[in-house]
Amino acid sequence: MTFFRAFACFALLGLTTPLFAQGTQVAFGTIQQDTSAPVEVTADELNVNQDTGAALFTGNVVIGQGEMRLSAPRVLVIYLEDRAGIERLEATGGVTVVSGPDAAEAQRADYSIDTGVIVMTGDVLMTQGQSAISGDKATIQLDDGTARVQGRVKSILQSGNE
């Protein structure tokens, strides 16, 4: 069930207070993300460690892949063992992920390129229009445009009648 269908069900039931749950599945983004698309990174500074095969981007880091954008003060890029591609990205210091009209914020985000999964932790806040959902952890599946929010989930659903 998408976030907006869930909202319609709650609106029909007359729920106007925040919704609390242990885990909630929501839609994220308007498109299915192509996780095989090239990853473009811009930043103020880059430090490369040849021994570990890692690259540290700092200062106004913006990462783009297809329609998805991730921004953070610091992003560590871990390359595959053969260095033929990126294994994962570790973004810290306050992270924002935007896909279409949807956005998610957290203190940290770990993006596994191969699986197309972003795990966001620490004060997670997801917004879709005027509706918002918060929790301790969000797992975003880019291949099908869904997200699961866990850990004292709080939803504020707007009826659209205002």
pLDDT digits (tens, 9 = 90+) for 134-150: 999 999 888 888 889 99
Residue type, 14: G
Mean pLDDT across the stretch 6-20? Answer: 34
DSSP-assigned states of every residue in the chain: --HHHHHHHHHHHT--SPEEEEEEEEE-SSS---TTS--EEE-SEEEEETTTTEEEEEEEEEEEETTEEEEEEEEEEEEPTTSSSEEEEEEEEEEEEEETTEEEEEEEEEEETTTTEEEEEEEEEEEETTEEEEEEEEEEETTTTEEEEEEEEEEE---S--
Rank 4-8, 124-128, 145-149 by mean pLDDT and report only the highest.
124-128
How much is the average pLDDT of 111-120?
A: 91
Whole-number percent of the chain with pLDDT over 90: 43
- Amino acid 41: pLDDT: 92
Query: What CA–CA distance (Å, rounded) separates 111 from 89?
Result: 5
Residue 19, pLDDT above cutoff 50: no
Per-residue pLDDT tens digits for 30-79: 545 666 788 899 999 999 998 887 999 999 999 998 888 999 999 999 98
Q: How close are the terminal C-alpha atoms of the chain, in Å?
A: 24
Provide the pLDDT for residue 156.
Answer: 79
This prediction's pTM = 0.76
Confidence of residue 22 (pLDDT cuts 50, 70, 90): very low
Cα radius of gyration (the chain): 17
Compute the average pLDDT of residues 80-109: 91
